[in-house]
Amino acid sequence: MSDLLAHAGIDSHRLIAAAHEVAHAIGFAAAGVAVTEIEVYGHGENAAGHVFVPGGIDVTNLRGFAVAHFAGRAADLRWCDEHQLPPAPERTCATDMAMVREFIRDAGRETKAHGEKKFSPGLASLRSEATRFVRAHWSTVARLAPRLARTGSLNPDRIPLAIFP
Protein backbone atom coordinates (compact mmCIF):
# COMPACT_ATOMS: atom_id res chain seq x y z
CA MET A 1 0.00 0.00 0.00
CA SER A 2 1.37 3.42 -0.88
CA ASP A 3 2.43 6.02 1.65
CA LEU A 4 -0.44 8.24 0.54
CA LEU A 5 -3.02 5.65 1.48
CA ALA A 6 -1.27 4.51 4.64
CA HIS A 7 -0.76 8.00 6.06
CA ALA A 8 -3.77 9.89 4.80
CA GLY A 9 -6.26 7.76 6.74
CA ILE A 10 -8.71 7.88 3.85
CA ASP A 11 -10.68 4.81 2.83
CA SER A 12 -8.91 3.38 -0.24
CA HIS A 13 -12.25 2.63 -1.92
CA ARG A 14 -13.29 6.28 -1.56
CA LEU A 15 -9.98 7.33 -3.10
CA ILE A 16 -10.54 5.05 -6.09
CA ALA A 17 -14.07 6.43 -6.53
CA ALA A 18 -12.75 9.98 -6.17
CA ALA A 19 -10.07 9.49 -8.84
CA HIS A 20 -12.78 8.07 -11.10
CA GLU A 21 -15.09 11.06 -10.61
CA VAL A 22 -12.34 13.69 -10.92
CA ALA A 23 -11.28 12.17 -14.25
CA HIS A 24 -14.89 12.33 -15.49
CA ALA A 25 -15.11 15.98 -14.45
CA ILE A 26 -11.86 16.91 -16.21
CA GLY A 27 -13.01 15.04 -19.31
CA PHE A 28 -16.35 16.81 -19.39
CA ALA A 29 -14.63 20.17 -18.94
CA ALA A 30 -12.32 19.32 -21.85
CA ALA A 31 -15.36 18.45 -23.98
CA GLY A 32 -16.89 21.83 -23.17
CA VAL A 33 -19.62 20.44 -20.91
CA ALA A 34 -20.33 22.20 -17.63
CA VAL A 35 -20.19 20.12 -14.47
CA THR A 36 -22.44 21.26 -11.63
CA GLU A 37 -21.74 18.63 -8.97
CA ILE A 38 -18.94 16.23 -8.06
CA GLU A 39 -19.54 13.85 -5.15
CA VAL A 40 -18.24 10.70 -3.51
CA TYR A 41 -20.21 8.84 -0.85
CA GLY A 42 -20.15 5.58 1.07
CA HIS A 43 -17.24 3.62 2.45
CA GLY A 44 -15.48 0.37 1.69
CA GLU A 45 -16.78 -1.56 -1.27
CA ASN A 46 -19.94 0.59 -1.18
CA ALA A 47 -18.01 3.77 -2.01
CA ALA A 48 -19.32 5.40 -5.15
CA GLY A 49 -19.78 8.82 -6.63
CA HIS A 50 -21.16 10.87 -9.44
CA VAL A 51 -20.50 13.86 -11.61
CA PHE A 52 -23.63 15.73 -12.56
CA VAL A 53 -23.91 17.53 -15.87
CA PRO A 54 -27.08 19.49 -16.54
CA GLY A 55 -29.69 18.06 -18.89
CA GLY A 56 -30.40 19.60 -22.24
CA ILE A 57 -26.75 20.34 -22.94
CA ASP A 58 -25.49 20.93 -26.44
CA VAL A 59 -22.52 18.63 -26.92
CA THR A 60 -20.28 20.02 -29.64
CA ASN A 61 -17.36 17.66 -29.01
CA LEU A 62 -19.02 14.26 -29.36
CA ARG A 63 -15.80 12.27 -29.17
CA GLY A 64 -14.58 14.23 -26.14
CA PHE A 65 -17.88 13.69 -24.35
CA ALA A 66 -17.68 9.95 -25.00
CA VAL A 67 -14.04 9.83 -23.85
CA ALA A 68 -15.03 11.65 -20.62
CA HIS A 69 -17.26 8.70 -19.75
CA PHE A 70 -14.36 6.26 -20.21
CA ALA A 71 -11.90 8.51 -18.34
CA GLY A 72 -13.37 7.46 -15.00
CA ARG A 73 -12.46 3.81 -15.53
CA ALA A 74 -9.03 4.73 -16.87
CA ALA A 75 -8.38 6.79 -13.72
CA ASP A 76 -9.56 4.19 -11.23
CA LEU A 77 -7.38 1.56 -12.92
CA ARG A 78 -4.37 3.88 -12.80
CA TRP A 79 -5.04 4.81 -9.16
CA CYS A 80 -5.14 1.12 -8.22
CA ASP A 81 -1.98 0.39 -10.18
CA GLU A 82 -0.02 3.28 -8.68
CA HIS A 83 -1.09 2.43 -5.13
CA GLN A 84 -0.68 -1.35 -5.42
CA LEU A 85 -4.41 -2.01 -4.96
CA PRO A 86 -6.44 -4.66 -6.74
CA PRO A 87 -8.36 -3.08 -9.62
CA ALA A 88 -11.93 -2.11 -8.92
CA PRO A 89 -14.32 -4.55 -10.62
CA GLU A 90 -15.57 -3.59 -14.07
CA ARG A 91 -19.14 -3.66 -12.73
CA THR A 92 -18.41 -0.44 -10.81
CA CYS A 93 -18.52 1.31 -14.20
CA ALA A 94 -21.65 -0.38 -15.54
CA THR A 95 -23.69 2.83 -15.43
CA ASP A 96 -20.96 4.77 -17.25
CA MET A 97 -20.74 2.14 -19.97
CA ALA A 98 -24.50 2.03 -20.44
CA MET A 99 -24.61 5.83 -20.65
CA VAL A 100 -21.81 6.04 -23.21
CA ARG A 101 -23.38 3.32 -25.38
CA GLU A 102 -26.71 5.16 -25.29
CA PHE A 103 -24.99 8.47 -26.04
CA ILE A 104 -23.10 7.02 -29.02
CA ARG A 105 -26.28 5.41 -30.37
CA ASP A 106 -28.27 8.66 -30.00
CA ALA A 107 -25.46 10.81 -31.42
CA GLY A 108 -25.14 8.45 -34.37
CA ARG A 109 -28.85 8.70 -35.13
CA GLU A 110 -28.83 12.48 -34.81
CA THR A 111 -25.80 13.05 -37.03
CA LYS A 112 -27.17 10.65 -39.64
CA ALA A 113 -30.55 12.42 -39.55
CA HIS A 114 -28.77 15.71 -40.29
CA GLY A 115 -27.01 14.15 -43.27
CA GLU A 116 -23.64 14.13 -41.52
CA LYS A 117 -21.27 11.22 -41.23
CA LYS A 118 -22.64 8.92 -38.54
CA PHE A 119 -20.85 9.16 -35.18
CA SER A 120 -19.86 5.58 -34.39
CA PRO A 121 -16.41 5.30 -32.80
CA GLY A 122 -15.17 1.95 -31.61
CA LEU A 123 -15.30 1.40 -27.87
CA ALA A 124 -11.69 0.17 -27.84
CA SER A 125 -10.47 3.40 -29.44
CA LEU A 126 -12.43 5.45 -26.90
CA ARG A 127 -10.90 3.45 -24.04
CA SER A 128 -7.41 4.01 -25.44
CA GLU A 129 -8.03 7.70 -25.89
CA ALA A 130 -9.37 7.93 -22.32
CA THR A 131 -6.22 6.24 -21.01
CA ARG A 132 -4.06 8.78 -22.87
CA PHE A 133 -6.25 11.62 -21.60
CA VAL A 134 -5.95 10.48 -17.98
CA ARG A 135 -2.18 10.08 -18.37
CA ALA A 136 -1.95 13.68 -19.64
CA HIS A 137 -4.02 14.99 -16.71
CA TRP A 138 -2.87 12.60 -13.99
CA SER A 139 -1.27 15.25 -11.79
CA THR A 140 -4.64 17.00 -11.45
CA VAL A 141 -6.47 13.73 -10.74
CA ALA A 142 -3.88 12.73 -8.12
CA ARG A 143 -4.06 16.17 -6.47
CA LEU A 144 -7.87 16.46 -6.33
CA ALA A 145 -8.90 12.85 -5.59
CA PRO A 146 -7.79 12.85 -1.92
CA ARG A 147 -9.62 16.13 -1.32
CA LEU A 148 -12.81 14.75 -2.87
CA ALA A 149 -12.49 11.48 -0.94
CA ARG A 150 -11.99 13.33 2.34
CA THR A 151 -14.75 15.94 1.97
CA GLY A 152 -17.29 14.04 -0.14
CA SER A 153 -17.77 16.87 -2.61
CA LEU A 154 -15.67 19.10 -4.77
CA ASN A 155 -16.51 22.50 -6.16
CA PRO A 156 -16.61 22.17 -9.97
CA ASP A 157 -14.70 25.45 -10.19
CA ARG A 158 -11.63 23.53 -8.97
CA ILE A 159 -11.63 21.52 -12.19
CA PRO A 160 -9.24 23.17 -14.64
CA LEU A 161 -10.22 23.56 -18.23
CA ALA A 162 -8.39 20.75 -19.91
CA ILE A 163 -7.75 20.22 -23.57
CA PHE A 164 -7.87 16.86 -25.30
CA PRO A 165 -4.31 16.06 -26.34
Q: Which of 3, 50, 19 is CA-nearest to residue 143?
A: 19
Q: Which CATH superfamily is domain 3-157 in?
A: Peptidase M41 (1.20.58.760)
d(CA 141, CA 23): 6
Express each pLDDT in 89-145 by its tens digit: 777 777 887 887 887 777 777 777 777 776 667 788 888 999 999 999 999 999 999
Q: Which of 2-11, 77-86, 133-142, 152-161 has the lowest mean pLDDT?
A: 2-11
The three-state secondary structure class of 22 is: helix
Q: Which of 28, 134, 129, 7 is CA-nearest to residue 77?
A: 134
Express each pLDDT in 42-92 by its tens digit: 999 899 999 998 876 667 778 888 899 999 999 999 999 998 888 887 777
Q: Where are the domains of the chain?
A: 3-157
